[in-house]
Amino acid sequence: MSLSSDPSPAFWAGRRVFITGCSGFLGSWTTKELNALGATTIGLVRDRSRRFGEDDPTIVPDFIVEGALEEYEVVLRAINEHEADTVLHLGAQPIVGTALRNPRSTFEANIRGTWHVLDACRELGKQVKRIVVASSDKAYGEVDRLPYDETMPLNGRHPYDASKSCTDILAQTYHKTYGLPVCITRAGNFFGGRDLNFSRIVPGTVRWALNGERPVLRSDGTMVRDYIYVRDAVRAYLLLAERMDDSALHGHAFNFSAEQPLSVLALVEHILRVAGRPDLTPIVLGEATAEIPMQYLAAAKAREMLSWSPGWTTDEALRETVAWYAAWFAKGTAGSAPPA
């Protein structure tokens, strides 16, 4: 594991950081890392389960602000009264299937929520020194040439993809028009422990493997995706925020990727091997709709401008992931997970 681009304790110690989506998958790992670095963390939480932080109190922010991204005054008050100088906008409705069933709620959270965060920062003038907005590889939509690079247009057409295209464009707008110190991250599919959305391929497959059950693929297994370990994503986002003391970076978007795209079937087989259950043959349903066949990223810009590189190999990351879920289930905390 290479840790050459780890975040700097000297930079983060005592810094006041506002994190949207802090109780979510990416947000909880980000909060954990910032707490370890000595930052003062202020987290926006919409839905908090009774088990939030029970298995790991280090994921709980110093201050919890209860409310939704759709509530502008809540967002403004949180940033203003807690005097945050750094904003990490990670909150979103992240599930493709949820967006298909009800696009309006996804658009409200992902699009309205983004302009609320950005406009609150604009209203507060010089208080906020850096804003990192989490977009996605889905913002690119379907293109004729892969891998995606940052020069390509944003062309999301399905509901979730379109919401991330709009998120991205809004961030660029607030930088271009109002001079906000914004950078944008575009990453692939996150995986790792603490992801309790078991409809996703990694946590779902790990659970099946640990239970000795055959994985069920709703797609035909051929879709190719970009996967990035959540702890690598945290390192990337925090490194970018540190580098934003250089105003020449403001307005830039950065792809973050391990640059090892995998088909769904290949990923499932990889997980089963790491979990010690290569004997479990996946059941392939082939029922997925409104999904792009191939998506993966080039990360040359992040390597060259930020000196960022992944810290974990795919095997290392999957081993840590399987071990996290095995320990989590062993503690009897499965009650906070969705049903199979």
Q: In what order do the strands lie in the sheet with 253-256?
A: 63-66, 40-45, 16-20, 86-89, 130-134, 182-187, 253-256
Beta-bridge partner residues of 184: 133, 253
Q: Which of 113, 289, 258, 104 is nearest to 192 (CA)?
A: 258
One-character DSSP codes across 155-189? ---SHHHHHHHHHHHHHHHHHHHH---EEEEEE-E
- What region, left, alpha or beta, does residue 243 occupy, with left being phi > 0 and alpha being psi -120 to 50 degrees? alpha
Catalytic pick among 140, 148, 160, 227: 160
* Cis omega (within 30 of 0) for bond into 338: no
User: Does residue 178 carry a catalytic annotation?
Assistant: no
Where b means 16+ CB within 10 Å and e means fewer, 217-246 reads bbbebebbbbbbbbbbbbbbbbbbbbbbee
Active-site residue list: 160
